[in-house]
A and B are shown apart, each in its own frame.
Chain A
Amino acid sequence: RKEVEQDPGPFNVPEGATVAFNCTYSNSASQSFFWYRQDCRKEPKLLMSVYSSGNEDGRFTAQLNRASQYISLLIRDSKLSDSATYLCVCSDAGNNRKLIWGLGTSLAVNP
């Protein structure tokens, strides 16, 4: 089993739609969690950290469920510019300086 698992998609949604991605992680001792976005042939960019209480940044909401070991990302009012691959990331339980990366979920927002 992969340490961080994501549905690869692709998710095809119309502009204005709400879309949610889930991700599961295998090591319950992981301490830090993030969502990154990666555009085609570009570097990963931090979208948001994920906190235990859940957190929101504009149209984006992240949730962490430690009991079930999953992380979610909700995007409301999707824009064309949201089209990208979304990477779920958690810290290595044995070494907090290292990150464990999911393979990503592909999102295409259509006009």
Chain B
Amino acid sequence: NAGVTQTPKFQVLKTGQSMTLQCAQDMNHNSMYWYRQDPGMGLRLIYYSASEGTTDKGEVPNGYNVSRLNKREFSLRLESAAPSQTSVYFCASSTPTGSNQPQHFGDGTRLSIL
């Protein structure tokens, strides 16, 4: 089972370049999430999509945009990369049923902005 798949796994960009991080899940989950993780900061939510067709800002949305392309796919775009966006990015998904909604993660994208 693939679960949550993120591409690419590693990327180096120059300041000002743009790129899109891709995420796809095959678990038929309604909700999808983008996080960044930095040393000493823990996981911080960038954007999330509660269901197909909806997106909402999380804790640190500035400098990012997202697209919920369909139920399976949720992409994160950096329009003009900045060194402060150097981080590990995780995509996650969850099922909407009941109140117990653990999230399942992809294996991350390690992004360096020079």
Contact = CB atoms under 8 A, between A and B. Distances in A.
Interface of A: 31-32, 34, 41-46, 49, 87, 91, 96-99, 101-104
Interface residues of B, number: 23
A41 B42 CA distance: 13
A96 B43 CA distance: 17
Interface of B: 31, 40-43, 45, 48, 50, 58, 88, 90, 94, 96, 99-108
Contacts of A34: 102
A26 B100 CA distance: 19
Nearest to B108: A43
A44 B90 contact: yes
Contacts of A104: 42
Contact of A43 (B40, B42, B105): B105
A32 B98 CA distance: 10
B90 A43 contact: yes
Which among B50, B104, B105 has the greatest number of chain A C-beta atoms within 10 A?
B105
Which among B101, B104, B106 has the greatest number of chain A C-beta atoms within 10 A?
B101
